[in-house]
Amino acid sequence: GAVVSQHPSWVICKSGTSVKIECRSLDFQATTMFWYRQFPKQSLMLMATSNEGSKATYEQGVEKDKFLINHASLTLSTLTVTSAHPEDSSFYICSARDQGAEAFFGQGTRLTVV
């Protein structure tokens, strides 16, 4: 299947700093990318959907000013957690798809804010 690369796989940052997570589709053009958040032992919660070249659509309850999403090209989307706090510590996963039905997932980024 297609490959989605997510970077970094883990990051530790200080409270109040910002962290950027990258999601790249390596062998296909991702017209749509999705960002999810997963707390321990819970399911994946969709945070936002982004289409290349347009603003992301955020799910209800997700702060767009805190979780900045950029989908500037057909192969790259970034999620920036701004002014991170310990409660933002979580596992963040991106997925991407082209015109097909299947979505391909990155390996996830474990964010720890101390």
Partner 1 sequence: SQQGEEDPQALSIQEGENATMNCSYKTSINNLQWYRQNSGRGLVHLILIRSNEREKHSGRLRVTLDTSKKSSSLLITASRAADTASYFCATDEGKFYFGSGTKLNVKP
Site residues (vs partner 1, CB under 8 A):
1, 6, 34, 36, 41-46, 49, 59, 91, 93, 95, 101-108, 110
Q: Which is nearer to partner 1, 51 or 82 (CB)?
A: 51
Rounded Cα gap, residues 16 and 66, in angstroms: 11
The number of C-alpha atoms within 13 Å of 44 and in the hemisphere containing its C-beta is 14
Q: Which is nearer to partner 1, 3 or 72 (CB)?
A: 3
Rounded Cα gap, residues 46 and 38, in angstroms: 9
Q: How far is the CB of 83 from partner 1 (least distance, A)?
A: 25
Rounded Cα gap, residues 93 and 110, in angstroms: 9
Q: Which is nearer to partner 1, 37 or 81 (CB)?
A: 37
Contact (Cβ atoms closer than 8 angstroms) between residue 32 and residue 96: yes
Q: How far is the CB of 86 from partner 1 (least distance, A)?
A: 19
Amino acid identity at 90:
S
Q: Which is nearer to partner 1, 10 or 17 (CB)?
A: 10
Q: How far is the CB of 105 from partner 1 (least distance, A)?
A: 4
Maximum separation of any 2 CA atoms in the chain, in Å: 40
